[in-house]
Amino acid sequence: MLSRHQYLWTAIFITTFVSTSVLGQFTCKDFLSPKTLMTDGTRLGTIVYPLAGNKYPPNQNCEWDIETAISGSVVKLKITSSNLQDIDIRGECSMDYVDIFDWKYGDRDFLGRFCGSQSGQIYESTGQKMTVQFTSNVAAEFSGFSASYQAVEERGDELDSSTTIILAICIPVGVLLIVLTIPFSWKMFKLYRQKHTRNTDPNQGQGVQLTENDNRAYSDYSFHHAQLGLVSPGERSYGIQHNFPPPAYDSLDYSNLPPQPPPYEQVIKEMVSEDRRDESNT
């Protein structure tokens, strides 16, 4: 039967074993985790773990909460150096690694993870708080990592301002172009309609005014065609197909025609005489 002292030592051993084996992975040896870091944006803050010259112990879980009290600002973190256990055979950071979390509206969202010798990454929160969490397993130990942080103006506000400026410029310019384009487009449309109407309607367009001399010449032309037994152009029915061929040249009757046309001078003199006669009658 165990004595009172044996019961006490047994309880201490069990408590120590459970704390070491089960809860040990949730401890941080160097400080009370999570550690809160404030930034006002005037200077860079730094995170160095572990202290220079040391190697981090196994089974560590350390957290840093970086916060800013400046309204409209977010937390920007840059990884300046990293010497952690490298990726596993699957190419993943599953042994020693650092996780970055974003806080907004009370929820913690995963931003990214790095391990090995990865450095130079930049992370930016969407709210006024960011969490950096370091985790190590029971295997090898390395020299750790370092990072810098600072409060910066929220990038979303800058994008909104730029968008507002672009809209303020583009909307008036677009409206002005539309106002100037409508009259020009309407005028071009009217011109197109007029041109299209002239091309499709044979009654439209500028007619040719025939003079009295033109009419007389056309009458003479019709007279000669009648003497030959031909149909004058004015008597043709356009659009009607004829099933008979035109007359042969040697079948035309030239007996009614004068042997030769009158001289040009005689025709002109007769036309002038008729014009003077008509003027004297009027």
Phi/psi-derived region of residue 276, left when phi > 0, alpha when psi is between -120 and 50, beta in every other case: alpha
Check: CATH 2.60.120.290 for 4-153?
yes
Per-residue pLDDT in tens (0 to 9) along the chain, 282 residues: 455 555 444 544 444 444 444 444 458 988 999 999 999 988 899 999 998 778 999 999 999 999 999 999 999 999 999 999 999 999 999 999 999 999 988 889 999 999 999 999 999 999 999 999 999 998 888 999 999 999 999 875 555 566 778 888 889 888 888 888 888 888 888 888 887 776 665 555 454 555 555 555 555 555 555 555 555 555 555 455 556 677 776 676 666 666 677 778 888 888 888 888 888 877
* CA–CA separation, 277 and 70 (whole Å): 111
Strand order from edge to edge, sheet including 129-135: 35-38, 61-67, 129-135, 97-104, 107-114
Amino acid (1-letter code) at residue 273: S
Task: Look up residue 173 and give its two tokens.
Answer: 């310019």
